[in-house]
Amino acid sequence: GFARALISTRKNHINLDKENGYINKSEIPFFTIWGDSDSAVVYSDFKEKLNKIMPRRKEYFISESGHLPNKENISEFENLLFENILKLEVDTKGFSEKEFLNLKNTISEKQTSLSQMDQQIGGILGKIDKAKRQIEIIQKVILKEL
């Protein structure tokens, strides 16, 4: 389930550097949220790249959480979002809804493409497992005949 999805996502990762660069160049304030104990996407592995592609971002780390801080420390995560939404309402000037929707659509298309690839890979892995079982059966039959 979840572990297989993480492995598949890592293997079939679609590079979003271009989209993240657009977000950084936009007027839209943005931030990243990390679980302070995330071992699936380790912050130190991405820090340098993030600093290069998205230097304007604000970073937040949710305590006592890993890859799913919104599930692992719900109250801290929700407080962070609420505070930032209030701040964005005050700070946002010259917001371009069209620019935002274009970015949202691009990311949505990439996510759909990734999901389709994950499903295809799952189907292929299932066929490979079935073929391996068939090979084992054939090998056993051949060995019995020898």
Residue at which a domain ends, from 74, 91, 108? 91
Residues 100 and 85 in one domain: no
Give the model's pLDDT for residue 27.
Answer: 79
Look up the domain containing 144 and give its range: 1-13+96-146
Task: Write out pLDDT tens, residues 53-66.
Answer: 999 999 999 999 99
Number of domains making up the chain:
2
Asked if residue 18 is part of any domain, the answer here is: no
Question: Do residues 112 and 142 both lie within one domain?
Answer: yes
Domain end call among 66, 91, 116 = 91
CB 41 within 8 A of CB 14: no
Residue 22 lies in a domain: no
In a domain, 24, yes or no: no
96-143 pLDDT per residue, tens: 778 888 888 899 899 888 889 989 998 999 999 999 999 999 999 988
Query: Is residue 30 scored above 90 in pLDDT?
Result: no
Which residue in the block uniquely carries the two structure tokens 């935002």?
Answer: 100
Q: How far apart are CA 23 and CA 102, in angstroms?
A: 11
Q: How many CA atoms lie within 13 A of 17 on its CB side?
A: 9
pLDDT over 90 for what percent of the chain?
44
Q: What is the reported pLDDT for 97?
A: 78
Q: Establish if 46 belongs to a structural domain.
A: yes
Query: Comparing C-alpha atoms, which of 100, 24, 12, 31 is closest to residue 69?
Result: 31
Rounded to two decimals, what is the model's pTM?
A: 0.54
